Structure 1
Amino acid sequence: MCKTEPGGDARPCYPSNLPAAWAVIEPLVPARDQRKGGAPRKYGDRMVLDAVLFVLRSGCQWRMIPRDLLPWDAAYRWYRTWANDGTWDRIHDRLRDQVRTAAGREAAPSAAVLDAQSIKSSEGGPDRGFDASNKTTGRKRHLIVDTLGLVLVAAVTSASVQDRPGGRRVLARLAAAFPSIGLVWADAGYANQVDNQLLAWAYEKLRLVVEIVRRSDDAKGFQVLPRRWVVERTFGWLVRNRRLARDYERLPGNSETMIKIAMIRLMATRLAGQSARWSNRPPDQAV
């Protein structure tokens, strides 16, 4: 059984719950301000996180959250509140700094890896298109990660947005948020064989060196490419969460938030020394 807070009532512990990781996340959650008036909050922050992680891992609709976790409308309201006030972003960035420090790296990265992934979308909404190269109707995730695979910048666009325009968007955000980075590795999709406009633009405007990691023309089948495999592994981490196996969000901003929450879960479990895998243990033995 799980307890939401010291002295709280016991309730079933789902495999998506992270009791040990909560100790890592709790200090980063903003303190509740009771001076604004109104009734005190009925549901604690850990209950909110457990409900959001259940949606992330199971891929269920918000209205299908188990009733012994949290009413769905309360879970969604706090999910949106933390997205709008930047709480998810702040927790994500603080955890990334802690993971890098624990790995013996500087908190501010000096190099990064860029790539994009087209993903099917079935919920409609804005920014939904067709990626002709991958024959995918949906959206595209543009990611820049550090050399550990931790997300630095994430942007979700229509799948019809090509790599070079999408690359400009995330590279500009990268340069503004991480002035310490001077080198970015990317695949050949970001290089124009005629004039390499993106590479020249990144160096002239952002002082970023974009180095293209090309696949050998003699290689057949799958090939692990230097540096590029790091971001491919991050995409693999994301799609293990069923909510991210497709794009189920109507708004691209919600898709970006879910990416951040998936990384929060991964980094918190890593810092807590807890397994991030699904548990096969019965609920009364879950950890």
Structure 2
Amino acid sequence: MNEQAPATGPSEAADSAFPSTRTPRQLPGHIAAALAGAGGAADSAGQPWSGRSLAGEDAKIHNFEDDDGAADAGYLAAVAALLAGDGDEASVVASLATARVFVPIVAQLAEEAPGAAGLHADKQADMALVTLKAPDGRTAMPVFTSATSLEAWHPQARPVAVYAARAALSAVAEGAELLVLDPGSEVTFVVRRPAVWALARQQTWVPSYSDPELAHAVGSVASAFPAVRRVELHAGGGVASATAGGAVLPGGGAGPELQVVLHLADGLDAAGLQSVVAGLNAEWSRNAVFAERVDSIEVKLQRAPE
């Protein structure tokens, strides 16, 4: 089921931006293996379904039977710290590693049949995950930290409780590159593709703008271009988001999360500038570290002092 996402998509770069590429990315091996094993004879831990009992104490079929539907306390604390200026978006994503969220499931008509008085009636309906279309055309999957926020967004949706890591894996299976937490609520937080993959693999996510390994990879590529004197990485203009009340959050945005500042030699004309930017774009897109850890970027050009 596709719906139009709220206007939380990437903003345009102020100076110049690399053109967006929609070439399908290869899934990391951990994620591909988890998806390949879904629906098999054993669960995700390798334990066979055969011979299991659902009687007595064995009737507990998931971890959330006593769940009151409230948002995870760790997530709320991380968001509160972000609002207060004491936290960052990496801490919010880290809080999701052990958090329960709700994935909305809705009925989708699969087959109709003639009904009374010639009216059409539902003969068969399937339950489907809800996906959104972000303003930049990418697929996003909404998830909710509380049953209340899900009901307010879509009263007819069935809330399915899962750990956020499982929701991230489902997003990958659906071809979604973004997780949108609590759309329509006071705080809507977007988890971008690199963080979605990290959650799905149950690994720690490091934002691209503070990733030393990425900085090294970017600098190594740039060193092959004599006109580039220095490269700096900063948080991009799309990192910030806003609450429904207008307060600015230093995280949770869907736009370009990485700003690459290129300090270039003086004297380059327009064609020279274009050649450098295009060359860097091509080389970075072929770099495995860059491809996996960067979601979207904006480029700022500056003249290097002599």
* More helix as a share of residues: 1
Q: Which structure has greater strand proportion?
A: 2
The structure whose RCO (Cα within 8 Å, separation 6+) is larger is 1
Q: Which protein shows a greater Rg?
A: 2
Name the TM-score, length of structure 2 as normaliser: 0.21
User: Could you state the TM-score of these two structures normalised by the residue count of structure 1?
Assistant: 0.22
